[in-house]
Structure formats: structure tokens, C-alpha cells
Structure 1
Amino acid sequence: MIFRIVFLCLILLIIELYTFQVLKTLIKSKPALFSIQFISLLFLVYIVYSLMQFDRSVGQTQQMMFTMGLLLIVYVPKLILTLTLMGEDIYRLCVGSVNFFVDYDKSADFLNSRRKFVSQIGLGLAAVPFLSLIYGVTVGKYNYKVIKQRIFFPDLPDAFDGFTITQISDVHSGSFDNPEKINYAIDLVNEQNSDLILFTGDIVNTDAKEMHPWIETFNKIKKHEYGKYSVLGNHDYGEYVTWPTEAAKEDNFQAIKNLYGEIGFNLLLNEHTFIQKGEDKIALVGVENWGHNFKQAGDLSKASGQLKKEDFKILMSHDPSHWEHVVQHDDKHYHLTLSGHTHGMQFGIEIPGYFKWSLAQYVYKQWAGLYENLGRYVYVNRGFGFHAYPGRVGIMPEITVIELKKGVNVA
């Protein structure tokens, strides 16, 4: 941990040095220049001090999230400045080398002075993430979007044509700090009037106590005609902190599983149930967390029991890497998998129907929205809450409404 902090400090100091070069080029008043640098130093000291106070037995706190937000808001723009000036330095080095070794011009300075317009360009580029990150922590994290998705299946049982499902995922209740906004989001959930509601895991960051202030709020999610079901996410196992004993960790895990029941959801633990409508039924399968790089407690075979290939199946599996590595290749043919987990990295660019980008796509092949392979679908919810960075930029918190349709999509 100490080595990581020292390494981070070195990186931040390099960034500060380059930022100073930009400011020195643009600001001629020495008092103003050093006042800005003094404020920057205070931010750096606070960030390093807060990081050194991190207690793995406690895990993420509101102070730690504030620190992470401040770190990004202050240093991502400065990183843009640094990269801009590094690019100019490479150019200056190349020009100086040509002058010295090729043209043999010994009278010219080896490195030309910095150009003011390059610093201005860097400052303009840095303003974009600076303003975006501030928006993310003040507005974006609670800017809930209802995303509606219609999916066609040729073998959908007739009675389920037009059946609607609301999906929420990745609540991370320990991160919440605005009851009014959470009540608004719960109202949005209820306004969808879906037939069924599914919650695909991560009710807390780590500790069951995080959810206690929000139980009454989440109990306002109305009863849905065909039920309320949930599965566990990777954070629900309490594995990202150090527990005093294994017994304490197990007690917390049991308490987290109980939380789902306390807000009216039936928790499926590697098992399935049937949703009956008229004479038809579909199988709802729920597995524990299965992640390619995270805990693998999910048991698809156990959860499916005696289900047959021709049974119409909806699978809840928190981590979409489960679909990528296992589910889409399974002979039992899981028609639709609902996942979450990625949060879309809480940062990206999304123009619905045209373009979406996030760093998440370099980690997960399926990271936000609907994906299909040979008639098998996975939908990745962008998450209800937030974690680590206390904000969202471009990738907004999501309430999903999926409509099942019988037939073939001709669009």
C-alpha cells in the first residue's frame, strides 16, 4: 500500500510540474501563479493524507469517495495538460536534434521555448473533463434514465407476448447521500407498471448496515403481479474488506442475503422458479455471482435443475462475463440473460442508437445494453447506484424496462 501511494505521489508531482509550465506560460503575475500552486499543493496533501487513512477493515466511506472524486476532478484535467505538453516536448526534442545533428546549427537553442498557443489548446482540452466530472458528482449520479427495450423471440410462449420486466441492478446503497433523489428513482420504478421486477445484485458496497437507512425507501417498490426476484452481486459477499474473523464475514453475508427479503425480493441462490401466466410458463433462473475475474459462486447446472432446452428461460446473472464465457455456449439455450456489474465504468460517451464508448468496453465485451448471439440475448444494465467515483459522466444510472415479444424482429 505504501509503495502504491509513493508511486502515485511521483506521478502526481510530474503532473504538477507540467501544469506549472502551462500556468507559467499563460500567467505573468507571480503572486497569482504561486497562489494557484499553493492551492494545488493543499489539494495534493489532502488527497495523499486521505488515501493513507484508508482502512481495509472499514472499506469505502463517504470521505474516501469524496477523495476519489477530488482526485479525478483535479488530476484528470492536469493529466490532459501534461500529455499535451509532453507531445510538444517530443516535437521540440525532434526539432532540436535535427538542428544540432543534421543542420549542425550550434548557435540555436537545442530546445525551443514553449509555444503559448499549445498551452492554450491544452487548457481548452482539460476544461472538458474538468466540467464533465463536476457535472458527474453534482447532477449525473442521480440523473436516472428509463431505458425501454423490446426483444423478439420466435419460441416465446403465447401468453407472454407483451410481458414486461423492470430490471434494476448495482444499487450500492452505501454510496447514497440524497434521500430525495432515491425516492424519485423508486417512483420511476413504480411508474413503469411492469409485470415483473428483477434486481441483479450488489445491494451494498460491503456491509449489510449500509442498506439499513434505505430499507423503508426500497420497500416502496410496489408488488408486481408476477413477483419480485433478485440475485447476488460480487459486492454482496463482503470480500473487499478485511474482517476480524471468518464468522464476522459470514454473519455479514447472511445479513446481506436477508436484506433482499426485507425489501420484498425473493433471492434466487443457484435455483429457478416458474412464472405462470394462463396456461403458459417461463423459467426464471437465478445464479450466485460468477465473474471471469471475480468470485465464481454461480452454478448454472444446479440452478437449472431439470429444465429442458425447449423451456423458455430468463437467467439472472450479475456479471456479464458469465454470459460471454459460459451461458451463450450452454446447450440448454438460455434465451435472455440479465446482468449489471460494469456500471459502464460510470464514465463514457453515449448517443442512443448511434454511438457508445467507455473504458468498460476494454474489459467487458458486453458492458451496456443489449447483445445477441445465435438468438441468445444478454442485457447489461448500467446500474442504479455508483461506487468509488461518486458521480456519473455520460453513462447515466438506469432503470430498464424490457418487453418480451413473440416473433422475429424485422427492424
Structure 2
Amino acid sequence: MSEALQNRRILLIVGGGIAAYKCLELIRRLRDRGASVRVVLTSAGAEFVTPLSVGTLSGDKVYSDLFDLTDTAAIGHIELSRDADLLVVAPATADLMAKMAAGLASDLATTLLLATDKKVLIAPAMNVRMWEHRATQRNLEQLMADGIHIVGPNEGDMACGEYGPGRMAEPAEIIAAIEAHFSELEFSGAQPLKGIKALITSGPTHEPIDPVRYLANRSSGKQGHAIATALARMGADVTLVSGPTNLANPAGVNVKRVETAREMLTACEAALPADVAICAAAVADWRVDVDATQKIKKEPGAEAPALKLVENPDILATLSRLTKNRPSLVVGFAAETEKVVEHAVAKRKRKGCDWIVANDVSPETGVMGGELNTVHLITGEGQEDWPLLPKQAVAERLARSILAHFEKKKAKA
């Protein structure tokens, strides 16, 4: 059960659109994590999901009518919004977003959104052309300026047959955004990791073959960057050593950009001493023994050039076996395509690190470059199997585990 959502009160507003069916899974997952959920079902939303199904999963009355005298007598619509810890709109249609941006209050949902003094998170869902329309983007800018939080939309196939951005975020992604909201509240000003220095590696490395070609892998760096963000939010002094990625530098983080494994190791050694080191980068195991100074030309009829590979430095093992300036906690990642836990347990012993975060990166999982991850945390005390989560949620959970580690260590001192 998620500590971040324990006893939290969520008011979920369900807009219209085929994506409304996802709200059923969202309600179930929120309740599984200890949150209570009240649902406002718009008239358009009721065309896709029924009050019976929503009410059964939420375990509470479903609200829909602004002028229902029974509802008004029991709990006024103003109180309905203020009784919640967070308002979530999923799906947030183009129509709902436009009304919110204009400050309209034409039904129960929009009246609650206008009357609330609590934070609001929306998960947009609409046709790609509607999402890209200037009016929708203008409304989005206004909502963001008003302090509305946004999750999604994702890119993909539409129910209408088109492809592009506009798919509502998955329930796991919405829950991660909700948990991140409450985590920010919990640690706002507290900074429980203040005084802890963290070193994180992220992304792939590029090992040059010649000036235009290189050896690499499919790592996006999303998980490592998310971990840096989570630790910085909790007050840690974070240095992120990143290989080549398309990601923005996380706020409040000291970022060192590198290309190769050797450069990454040098940057890590320069960042020491550190209290915790997290090796989330997918470092290339090999490099060519000598990279060509000029582009290798393809000659007609000639055989392909033979590349002699040599082993790259093992950054995780190097940090784990330091006799001087070894971090108190060294965490490695094991990206496996088979026997995930078995290989991770062996890797932890072989590398000498304290923890291993193991994940399945088989092509069908979509982990490499994707938004979701399923991991197993292997420590000297045992194994934790985490559910499928967005990478930011994995990062938040790992950050909490690291916090617990240092609190336990402090208590023993």
C-alpha cells in the first residue's frame, strides 16, 4: 500500500470520451493504495461508463447533477470540492479544458473546479487534431499559468483511427503524478535527505568507431534522470553524470555530460566523496580498441572491416570496491532479458555493490525508451518485487528506500 496515498481523499471528475473506461482501473488502483475516491460523472462521461460501475469501484455515491436537492442537502457542491485533498480530471476533454480556462461553471464538474481551493491535476484526452489546435494549446497554456498540473497526453493510435498525441495517460502514470503531488507536499520545506550527497549515472554511453559512427544501446536515461529529480526534491545534493540523452537537465541537480564509459568513470571519480552512488546508466560493455580518426569508407567489393573490441571500465564494480571514498550505499542496475532476479542476485555479489535494481528489458516490455518499469530491489536483506510503475514512481519509491536506509543507519549510530 502506498504511504503517499494512504487516507488521501481524491475527487475524480470523469469527462466524456472513449478514454473514460480507464477511470475504472484508476479508481481501483487508487483504492488499493489506500486513497478514498469520490466521483463526479459528467453527462458525457456517463455515455461511456455507468454510475453503477463507477460507484461499485469507488464504494461511494456518484455525483452528477448540480441541482440535485438530495445531494445539496447532504453535502453542498462547494464542500464537495473542498473536502478533497486533490481534484483529478480524467479524461479532461477539449471541452472541459476550454471551460476551465474560461472560468465557466455550467454543470457540477465545472462548478466544483471553479469553487475549489485545492490543487487540480488533469489528464487530457482527445483527437490529435483537437489537441494540436491553437485554441486547445492556448487553453493549455492558460491552465498551466493558473497552476493546473498536467499528466500526458501520450502519443499513439486513436479510437478514430488517427495516430499522434492525444491518448490519455495510463492509470499507472496518473497515479504516479498523484503520488508525486503528495510527496512534494510531504517533503515541502522538510528536505529529509538534506546533507546527503548523491552521485547518479544515467543514459547510454557512445563508444566511437570513427568520427561518425559509434557503439551504443537503446537507453533513454529516463529512469536515471527521474531518480536524480526525486533525490533532489528530497533535499539531497545530487550530481548526475549523464551519457548522451534528449532529456532536459533535472532542476536543482549538478549535471555532468559525457560521451564514453571512460569519461563517465572519470566524472564519477571527480564527484567523490558521496554518501550514495546509483549506477543507473546503461554503460557499453565494450569499445573498439582503436577508433579511426577518419570515416571508414565502404569500398566496392571489399569485405566489411573487422572491429576488435576491448572491455570498458566497470563503473559499478570500481565504485563498489573503492578502499577510499567508497559511498556508504552503492546501488547498481541490472537490465536483463531472462532470469531477471537470478542474474541480478549474481551481479550484486560479483560487483560488490549493496543493492541491485533489476528490471526486464526484453523488447516486448518497452522499458528501454518507454515510460513504465517493473523492478525488483535486491539487497543483503532480501528481495522486494515492485509492481508496474511509471519511471518517476519507481524513482520516488527508490528515494524513499534510500531515506529509510540512512534513517536506520543514523538510529544505530
Q: TM-score, normalised by structure 2?
A: 0.31
Which structure carries more relative contact order (alpha carbon 8 Å, separation 6+)? 1
Structure 1 or 2: more helix by fraction: 1
With normalisation by structure 1, the TM-score equals 0.31
Question: Which structure's CA Rg is the greater one?
Answer: 1
